[in-house]
Chains A and B, each alone.
Chain A
Amino acid sequence: MSNLTNQTMQSRRRFLENISRAAGGAALFGLGLGIYSQSSKSLPADAIRPPGVSNEVDFLSACVRCGLCVRDCPYDTLKLAMLGDKVALGTPYFNSRDIPCEMCEDIPCIKACPTGALDPSLTHIDDARMGLAVLIDQEACIAFQGLRCEVCYNVCPVRDKAITIEYSHNKRTGKHALFIPVVHSSDCTGCGKCEHACILDEAAIKVLPIKLAKGEMGQHYRLGWEEKRRAGESLVTPDTQHQYNLPQGSRYDYEGEGLITPSQTTPFEKSALERLNEGKL
């Protein structure tokens, strides 16, 4: 009888030992994996997700790493992250300096995705926001040196909306214009054709994940002129007609000029020093 109890005790002990070994191992493993997963949530700056990914965390919960989007990409733009890449293992991405997104109108990568990790509600490729082009190095960009280039502007599939050319004065020569490419986040899809086409050895314009590229104003900011336009009138004290009794023809500028009299643009015709020398202070 005591032998039997001993046996059951032993088997019970073995069972508990087994279970605790398994649980301990699993917990330790889970801890390591959990920490690793946190570090792998950050996407390297040169890795751009395919269209239809609005948020990296949501994407990583949905993507089953099957590679169907990569298979159906007609331009071999998309790559699967392999072991050793810095992108989460098995997930699709592209590097726009290598092969940019051609912005297919039928968006085959989204059609291929079985899980909805690439959002199927994105049907118009111009609405894609894969990343955001940033003219990141104004020292290297030759447009800032006063040279004509505009290659990024010319290859842009959403030209004149996503990239415009803004003219400004060339201070170095004093008589020429600078033709500066300016990216607008309202229309840039992040396809990367600009970065791919940049003529420099290392691109001055780069597509970055939106999270890296965009700043964000605090929610409490209210731009007076925007609010005024939206509401049709000023929301704070309305502009009132000037009520001071000013000399005839004079007016008062609220935006910093101060009192403006019509007769003279400067209060004195000569400088203070000259007047002092003439003894006519």
Chain B
Amino acid sequence: MVAMAKNAGQDSIAQKGWLLAHKWLLLRRFSQLSILLLFLVGPWFDVWFVKGSMSSSLFLQTLSLSDPFVFLQSIFAGHYPEFTVLSGALIVAVFYFIVGGRVYCSWVCPINIVTDIADGLRRVLNIKTAFNFSRSTRYGLLIAVLLLASITGTLVWELVNPVTMIQRELVFTMGLSWIVIGGIFILDAFISRRAWCGHLCPMGAFYSVLGRYSLIKINAQNRANCNDCMDCYAICPEPQVIKPALKGSGSPLINSGNCTNCARCIDVCAKDVFTMKHRYVYSKTITSQNEVHT
């Protein structure tokens, strides 16, 4: 039954058709690209829906939004913030707290496109590498980044942060950050699977923490239908989060903050095991139907 990673999703495509088997992926790409485009129509066509970059922006000349992770670094560096950035970061943080922290990673961050393509290449060319970073490296980095900010009094991570760098240079002028994009691609494709987004990025770690108790979660609602094809594991950027929900006896909710709510598992599952709904209703219905106590 165990399929090659290369063929992940074939059953689902056969069952639902290509479009439905890529529904969530297409929605995500649409979301990522249109957000990027919103930033770009300003400098390109002088139409300013959004000004600035993803670190901090001004939406329709009125609503100020700021990245809570960059904001947090600035607090740790000892800066007393203005109300604008404080409220902007709060709005964004509340949003991700509700929809899932790492929705930022899979629905907004353009680097996700790069690392997804790298992983796709691995699957197509059947590239296998043994080296893996520890999945907790990112939390170590997150702590190190915040500590360093307070020790040095500057936003240290923002001197090298490839995420904000690439987002900024895509919107402003492209410096040498192509090299960084290439570096992340090579790292993910040829050195270590899902190394950047799944193991190293402290920004992702921050959003994992932020979204740990988010309202919207992936739910292995119909786990009884699972035929162990392993496609979801092959496609998932954080496969370790699936097992407790899919194979455990407890809640079918994918509870880990590391789940990016990318919903690719929903796409590739021919048996419609997974759904994306808010966390309360489904844990209740499952409990009453299957008498599984959470």
Which of B53, B151, B159 has its CB near the most chain A CB atoms (within 10 A)?
A: B159
CA distance A60 to B143 in the complex (A): 19
B79 adjacent to A61 (CB under 8 Å): yes
- B55 part of interface (Cβ distance < 8 Å): yes
Which of B79, B143, B145 has its CB near the most chain A CB atoms (within 10 A)?
A: B79
Closest to A41 in B: B154
> Given contacts A25-B140, A65-B155, is CB(A114)–CB(B85) below 8 Å?
yes
- B169 part of interface (Cβ distance < 8 Å): yes
- Specify which of B134, B155, B177 is in contact with A60 (CB 8 Å cutoff): B155
Interface size bracket, B side = 35 or more
> Given contacts A82-B175, A112-B58, is CB(A64)–CB(B77) below 8 Å?
no
- In the complex, what residues of A have CB within 8 A of residue B154's CB? 37, 41, 57, 60-61, 88
B171 adjacent to A83 (CB under 8 Å): no
- In the complex, what residues of A have CB within 8 A of residue B51's CB? 68, 71-72, 112
Name the distance in Å between A123's Cβ and chain B's nearest Cβ: 15
Name the distance in Å between B197's Cβ and chain A's nearest Cβ: 16
CA distance A37 to B172 in the complex (A): 23
- Specify which of B79, B82, B159, B177 is in contact with A36 (CB 8 Å cutoff): B159
- Specify which of A21, A41, A60, A67 is in contact with B53 (CB 8 Å cutoff): A67
A25 adjacent to B176 (CB under 8 Å): no
A64 adjacent to B85 (CB under 8 Å): yes
B66 adjacent to A64 (CB under 8 Å): yes
B53 adjacent to A66 (CB under 8 Å): yes
Closest to A60 in B: B154
B137 adjacent to A22 (CB under 8 Å): yes
CA distance A102 to B57 in the complex (A): 24
Which of A26-34, A221-229, A255-263, A267-275 participates in binding chain B?
A: A26-34
Give the top 10 A-B pairs by smallest Cβ distance, nearest first. Answer: A82-B175, A26-B140, A66-B56, A61-B77, A116-B82, A60-B154, A30-B144, A62-B79, A114-B84, A22-B140
A residues at B contact (CB < 8 Å): 18-19, 21-23, 25-27, 29-30, 33-34, 36-38, 40-41, 57-58, 60-68, 70-72, 80, 82-85, 88-90, 112-117, 120
**A-B contact list, 14 entries, CB within 8 Å:** A21-B133, A23-B140, A26-B140, A33-B156, A57-B153, A61-B149, A64-B158, A65-B164, A83-B176, A89-B158, A112-B58, A115-B81, A116-B82, A120-B82
